[in-house]
Amino acid sequence: MTMHLAISPVFAPLARLAPRVPSRASRGGRGAQRGLTLIEVLIVMAIAVLLVSGMLFATGAIARSRLKGSASRVAAAMRTAYQRASSTGKRLRLVCDFDNSTIWLEESSDQMLLTEKNDPIGNGGADPATAGEKAAEAEAARINAGVQAPRASFAPVPGPAGQPQVLHQGISLKAVDAAHDKEPRTTGRGYVYFFASEAERASVQLMITGSVDERDAFSVVVSPLTGKATVLDGVVPIPRPHDDAEASEVEDDGR
């Protein structure tokens, strides 16, 4: 005979509020569950660390690949300039725009004598192309107040090579170290000149944007006698002789 204990309606709310004591089995189950959750958290943290490390490594590899691709693009432009100068007899130059991270080729049929490092404009004796170059030429003419040598006028070459080519994403021009400049150019525009039988000694340096580590840089060095463009690791400056005697000892290494 089953007996049912009836709870008075008056004590029913109190019965609902009374704490329930969990059984031993339920207490053990929750304890085991808490231990398993801690292990899972540790596993997830370890996986997250591995994923982040892999992402950082992959990001660095991608940036390095883009840097090499941009350097190869500059080298290809140099080879095109040398070949076109040799075949047409015109003066060619590689234009490197620091502000827009772009490069393109320009040519001129005018006679041109490549000026040395005392050129105040820094464009090697060519006609000024930017507002800054024009202002520098005007100031130089005012200071010299004499007869100025004629400057060659350049225009973009026909076809894709004459259109500004943007470097790969995340890659910037670091410097253009050319023989006609006193020191490497890092702002505005830098130029590398090519003639019918030779090229100007120069090094175009590129870097991963935002990095200050020279290991994140490539240099494209052009050989004056052969026009060969070589991509090298790091920042590679050109040799800068101090006088004519030292300059005569500088040999073309054929790179």
The pLDDT confidence band at residue 147, using thresholds 50, 70 and 90, is low
Overall average pLDDT of the 205-228 stretch: 93
pLDDT of residue 244: 47
Domains, the chain, with CATH or none: 52-142+154-248 (3.55.40.10)
d(CA 7, CA 150): 114
173 or 4: whose pLDDT is higher? 173
Residue 172 belongs to what H/E stretch? Answer: strand 171-178
pLDDT of residue 200: 92
pLDDT of residue 92: 95
Indicate if the pLDDT at residue 140 is higher than 80: no
Overall average pLDDT of the 26-38 stretch: 56
Indicate if the pLDDT at residue 145 is higher than 70: no
d(CA 174, CA 234): 11
Q: 178-207 pLDDT, tens per residue?
A: 998 889 999 999 999 999 889 999 999 999
